Amino acid sequence: MTARIIDGNALSAEIRGQLAERAAALKAKGITPCLAAILVGEDPASAVYVRNKVAACEKAGMRSIKDVYADDVDPAVVFARIAELNADPSVHGILVQLPLPKHFDSEAVLESISPEKDVDGFHAENVGALMQGNPRFIPCTPYGVMKMLESANVPLKGAEVVIVGRSNIVGKPMAMLLLAKSCTVTICHSQSKDLAFHTRRADILVAAVGRAKMITGDMIKPGATVIDVGINRMTDGPNAGKLCGDVDFETAKEVAGVITPVPGGVGPMTITMLLTNTLEAAERCAK
């Protein structure tokens, strides 16, 4: 049996169409949703992410501001710019692309963004609100995964969920969201013993590690839903240079019931949910 694929591009297109309609309705009231993105340094992957986010904004009828700083910029310059954007009522969402150069205190930068404009959902106040089950902004990647599960009608109540990866931006908020839906959640990480023992019990398996194809078909429960968050660039073989996930798609799709591909899975959904968060911030301003 071959798994049903959740097409992140198709679902994104559908949601972005709805967002464009909502953005147009706001514009008619004189409010144009606006996202400000700050990029520090020349990391090529970060530059591509920011470019894609800004382009997606414009396409959905929202405004964007992109500020790019050199790798060795004085952090005070970036803090001053964030303060300016915090105070600007025409800006509804602010994001700082991670990772930041080593001379930055990333946590302090994230905390300097107004919680009302923190569309990535990384500010401690927003993390706390999510933890309490009353989120203001849901971090975009796990938010996108929830939309994918919903679109595929994957049953959540009582489901055994195993998340591989415990980062603040993916693994931990993912666990909170699935717990809130009454899943039984296990979080695995680099020190977990016998990873396959855990993954094989999962009705829903979320891989968010950053290791190419580490989850193979034999680690998956037959019929499980497999969500691949990983984005890795293959280094050798005939596909060198191409993207792949943390899941070995070829073997996994023969065992899983539902699966997300890479590329074309969680990636486009992350940007879609960033647009959603920006629009919602603007809608809150309109009330």
- The footprint of ligand NDP (CB under 6 A) covers 141, 164-167, 169-171, 188-192, 195, 208-211, 229-232, 266-267, 270
Give me Rg for the CA atoms of the chain. 19
- Residues with Cβ within 8 Å of residue 61, at least 6 apart in sequence: 20, 23, 24, 27, 32
How far apart CA 84 and CA 40 sit, in angstroms, is 17
Supply the minimum distance, in Å, between the C-beta of residue 265 and ligand NDP.
7
* Shorter beta-carbon distance to ligand NDP: residue 210 or 217: 210
The catalytic residues are: 53, 97, 120
Supply the minimum distance, in Å, between the C-beta of residue 192 and ligand NDP.
6
Supply the minimum distance, in Å, between the C-beta of residue 232 and ligand NDP.
6
* Shorter beta-carbon distance to ligand NDP: residue 164 or 256: 164
Q: Cβ(207)–Cβ(226) under 8 Å?
A: yes
Supply the minimum distance, in Å, between the C-beta of residue 163 and ligand NDP.
9
- Residues with Cβ within 8 Å of residue 67, at least 6 apart in sequence: 36, 37, 38, 39, 81
Q: Cβ(70)–Cβ(21) under 8 Å?
A: no
How far apart CA 207 and CA 170 sit, in angstroms, is 10
* Shorter beta-carbon distance to ligand NDP: residue 3 or 227: 227
* Shorter beta-carbon distance to ligand NDP: residue 189 or 242: 189
Peptide bond into 99 cis (omega under 30): yes
